[in-house]
Amino acid sequence: MAEFLRSTNIKSTRKIRRCFACGEIIKKGSKAAEWVSVGDGSVSSVYLHPKCWKVTVDYCFGCNNCDNGEGFQEFYLKESMDEGSRYQGVDEWHPFYLSII
């Protein structure tokens, strides 16, 4: 299981990234959040849309729907929505997701 180290707000991405939470593209020059963690002896970082990061912080940490003790799986917010989860975080995030796809 990965251990959260830090997050950083990125004012302008230098290249195209894929959001770890929803799987959609974060365009070059866009705002983003970088989530850095350590696990299995290596440090890794992933990028999220600011809205996806806010929903993750506000609702997903400590929720067993997305984090089953083994850490978050890639595209966890989109998978929760696709599986019909009606968690408050998914409900808040869904309009944002529809605006970027």
In this predicted model, what pLDDT tens digit does every residue of 41-55 receive, in sequence order? 889 899 999 998 988
pLDDT band at 64; cut points 50, 70, 90:
low
CATH 3.30.70 holds for 3-100: no
Indicate whether 98 pLDDT > 80. no
What is the pLDDT, as a whole number, of residue 9? 96
Indicate whether 62 pLDDT > 60. yes
Q: Where are the domains of the chain?
A: 3-100
What is the pLDDT, as a whole number, of residue 1? 60
Evaluate if pTM is beyond 0.75. Answer: yes
**Cβ-contact 90, 74 below 8 angstroms:** no
Buried b (16+ CB within 10 A) or exposed e, 24-49: eebeeebebbbbebeeeeeeeebbbb
